[in-house]
Amino acid sequence: MDTFKNMLNDWESESQEASDRVEYTLTLDKHDLVKIKAFAEAYGLDEATITEGLIHSAIKEAEQAMPYVKGSQVIRVEEGEEIYADAGKTPAYVEAEQKLSNTL
């Protein structure tokens, strides 16, 4: 009985993931394409799956690496400590991400 339940849950998950995917064309360095093809061959996956995974991981790391730049405006006080607005690129990135999320 759980076999069908698990299968249906997997299908639902895959269906949701597929509906969130968009096709995008990009230009790669030849050396990077060789590496993507090598990963695909080594893991028995298609190049699109490898590329998607690599881009997803790179984006997550890039987001985490964005530095906080202490601004001059106090936005709140936590436990008696002033918290300053981020004057770096993060606020512009978050704003652009939210705006673009609604249009794609």
Same domain, 74 and 88: yes
Give the pLDDT means over successive 10-residue stretches in the chain (104 positions): 84 82 92 97 94 94 96 95 96 96 87
Same domain, 57 and 95: no
- Identify the pLDDT of residue 104: 82
What's 27's DSSP letter?
A: -
- Identify the pLDDT of residue 1: 63
Same domain, 82 and 59: no
- Identify the pLDDT of residue 22: 86
- Identify the pLDDT of residue 102: 87
Same domain, 58 and 80: no
Same domain, 72 and 56: no
Q: Any idea how long the chain is? A: 104
Tokens of 86: 């981020």
CA–CA gap between residue 53 and residue 59 (Å, rounded) = 10
